[in-house]
Amino acid sequence: MSMLVEAEELADVHLMVRDRLSAEVLVQLKDWKAANYHKQMVGSCKEAKAFEEDFHKVCGILLGYNSELYP
């Protein structure tokens, strides 16, 4: 019987941690993401698209491709 009580107490602790994470931490992360990453009208965030374009330019230079022909 004591194992069931201990299991219930542990489950209560896990639920409390889950509730605090979803109420506090996830809200803060969502606000931070909204402040630091700007969505485009279509597709992903602007920063990710800029990184992707820069990556393709560097790969084109290193591999000898014309970055205009191979996006």
Question: CA distances (Å), 50 to each of 4, 29, 38, in order?
Answer: 54, 22, 12
Amino acid 40: pLDDT: 62
Cβ atoms of residues 71 and 56 within 8 Å: yes
What is the reported pLDDT for 11?
Answer: 95
What is the model's pTM? 0.41
Task: Look at residue 13 in the predicted model and tell me its pLDDT.
Answer: 95
pLDDT tens, residue by residue, 14-45:
999 988 888 888 888 888 888 877 666 666 66
- How far apart CA 30 and CA 52 sit, in angstroms, is 23
Q: Which pLDDT score is estimated for 55? A: 81
